[in-house]
Amino acid sequence: MTETTGPNRPETTSAGATETSQTRIRPTRRGGGHPATRGRTTIADGVVEKIAGLAAREVLGVHALGSGLSRTFGAVRDRVPGGSRAAARGVKAEVGEVQTALDLEIVVEYGVSIADVARAVRENVVASVERMTGLEVVEVNIAVIDVKLPEEEEEPEPRLQ
């Protein structure tokens, strides 16, 4: 029996059909791998800070975030166009490639359990940050810096002139 060699040698496909190597079509492969794995995504510290700040404010018993001085300066900054960072006030994030750590300063309402509020803040912040960013939250440090008493008036917002 003579074996056929060369460019027109018949080959059998997986379906059992015979085709020549000249007619076989190879799929064109562009790029490398699945499209979702191409490239890098980086998340800025400020993005994580805003998410954490908004999540902390959602917790019942949290009056505000940040110290009185930072809230005063923040109120001025909020009134300047392009200068708003209110959502991230009182929050500091350190973001790595796959993990993040957070420090929060909170003011709690008088009469609430500080331990319960801190636990609820941690849970809400971790859930929100991990869900929205995909980063692993390794720690959420909470500093309770003040208690809002019922008779205390709200700090007046500074007026720009």
pLDDT per residue, tens digit, the chain (161 aa), is 545 555 555 555 555 555 555 667 766 666 667 887 888 889 999 999 999 999 999 999 999 999 765 444 454 544 556 555 588 999 999 999 999 999 999 999 999 999 999 999 999 999 999 999 999 999 999 999 999 998 876 655 554 55
Q: For position 70, what pLDDT does the model report?
A: 47
State the virtual CA torsion across 92, 96, 98, 101 in degrees, nearest 10. Answer: -30
pTM greater than the 0.85 cutoff: no
Q: For position 86, what pLDDT does the model report?
A: 80
Q: Are 123 and 131 in contact (CB under 8 A)?
A: no
Angle value at C-alpha 42, between 95 and 50, nearest 5 degrees: 55
- Please give the structure tokens belonging to residue 121: 């803040």
According to DSSP, residue 38 is labeled S
Q: For position 33, what pLDDT does the model report?
A: 78
Quickly list H helices, 3-147.
45-57, 68-79, 114-133
Q: For position 38, what pLDDT does the model report?
A: 82
Q: For position 124, what pLDDT does the model report?
A: 98
Q: Are 137 and 130 in contact (CB under 8 A)?
A: yes
Cα 80 from Cα 155, distance rounded (Å): 19
